[in-house]
Amino acid sequence: MGSTEKMRPGRLMSGLSQFIKFGIVGGSGTVVNLLIAALSKKIAGWTGGIHESDVFLNLFGTEFNIRWFNVFLTIAFLVANTWNYQLNRMWTFKGISTRSWFRGFFPFLLTGIGAFLVSQVVATLLMNPTSPIALSEAVFDGSTGFRTKFYWATVISIVVAMPVNFLINKFWAFRRPKVKIVEVREPVTQES
């Protein structure tokens, strides 16, 4: 039995362990994301009378708009992404990266932005009443927190983006540094 065959189960278990830890960190990040999104929504409502579906910015005079829910999700993403990076660095991928905090954070942030864009598309499709996968206004009428369309769209979009986020982080942001062999020499022995 070769040494590579012996390593495979260990590598598989290590990868599974990392995936589970990444999921736990992601779960805590989801809670942070939801809290910040909800808090952003509440503060905007209290201070400016802003509803999550109100237009934040029109896109170049077209019928398309960036809505306030997109802004709330962006704020929540930035806070949760920083939270997740720190926990993943300290726990999930502990000891793998020798990069400085900022050098490691930017690939993580870029990876997060990719997953964030997926989540923005999903959330927009769930929030837009004309979308084929829009959440039902009859069920999600905003009468309670559990019937608020924005909250459910946020949760669903995070769940959809999580596997993409893990794979890109594992193979890019937290990859093991490549080892370069500069020169191979025979060991020098000293004769007495």
Residue 36 makes CB contacts below 8 A (sequence gap 6+) with 75, 76, 79, 80
Residue 14's identity, in one-letter code, is S
Residue 47 pLDDT? 96
SS3 label, residue 132: coil
SS3 label, residue 102: helix
In a domain, 184, yes or no: no
Residue 6: pLDDT above 70?
no
Which residue blocks in 49-95 are alpha helix, DSSP H? Answer: 68-87
pTM, to two decimals: 0.72
In a domain, 61, yes or no: yes
Residue 73's pLDDT band, with cuts at 50, 70 and 90, is very high
Residue 5 pLDDT? 46
In a domain, 7, yes or no: no
Query: Residue 79: which domain range?
Result: 13-173
In a domain, 3, yes or no: no
Residue 130's identity, in one-letter code, is T
In a domain, 22, yes or no: yes
The highest-confidence range among 37-51, 110-124, 142-156, by mean pLDDT, is: 37-51
